[in-house]
Amino acid sequence: MENFTPFSALIGGALIGLSASLLLILKGRIAGISGIVNGVLLPQTGDLGWRILFIVGLALGGLIYQLAIGDVSHIQTSASTLTLVIAGLLIGVGSTLGSGCTSGHGVCGIARLSPRSIVATLVFMSTAILTVALF
């Protein structure tokens, strides 16, 4: 827990909650990232603009954080590019099979007390814990 930073975690969580709430209030949409990205890849009429802005906002958030905090080069991974690509594809397949991702089910679904989202999040988290324990 040497990298535990409660202040930045609190701010990040509040911003995630705020963005999810605003998207639900202003657009009537759930902030599930896999669904938003899927809607960019397979757009429907009049539905593309807000999705692109949301994804750009995610990227800009990381850039703004880097500019505000400074050097973030200490964030590293030992995984190869191939491993990261395969992991990303598996996450995409899993979120399709689960009818959503951790942001849609975990953040928005649990907040709405959706039984389906609670079960999905329990499966996501159990699988993640088991994977980390094994590897």
Amino acid code (one letter) for 3? N
pLDDT of residue 56: 94
pLDDT band for position 130 (cuts 50, 70, 90): very high
Find the mean pLDDT for residues 111-116.
Answer: 90
Contact between residue 32 and residue 110 where contact means Cβ atoms under 8 Å apart = no
Contact between residue 111 and residue 89 where contact means Cβ atoms under 8 Å apart = no
Q: Does residue 120 lie within any of the structural domains?
A: yes
Tens-place pLDDT, residues 68-96: 877 766 777 888 999 999 988 888 888 88
The total number of residues written for the chain in this structure: 135
* Domain carrying residue 37: 6-134
Nearest to 54 by CA among 23, 84, 75, 85: 23
Lowest mean pLDDT among 77-81, 93-97, 108-112, 119-123: 93-97
Q: Does residue 19 lie within any of the structural domains?
A: yes
Nearest to 107 by CA among 89, 125, 130: 125
Q: Does residue 37 lie within any of the structural domains?
A: yes
Query: Helices 48-69 and 33-41 sit at what angle, rounded to 10 degrees?
Result: 120
Q: Does residue 1 lie within any of the structural domains?
A: no
pTM: 0.75
Q: How many Cα atoms occupy the beta-carbon half-sphere of 105 within 13 Å?
A: 21
Q: Does residue 101 lie within any of the structural domains?
A: yes
Q: CA separation (Å) from 14 to 7, 19, 20, 113?
A: 11, 9, 10, 19
Distance CA 20, CA 38 (A): 17
pLDDT of residue 92: 82
Q: What total number of domains does the chain contain? A: 1
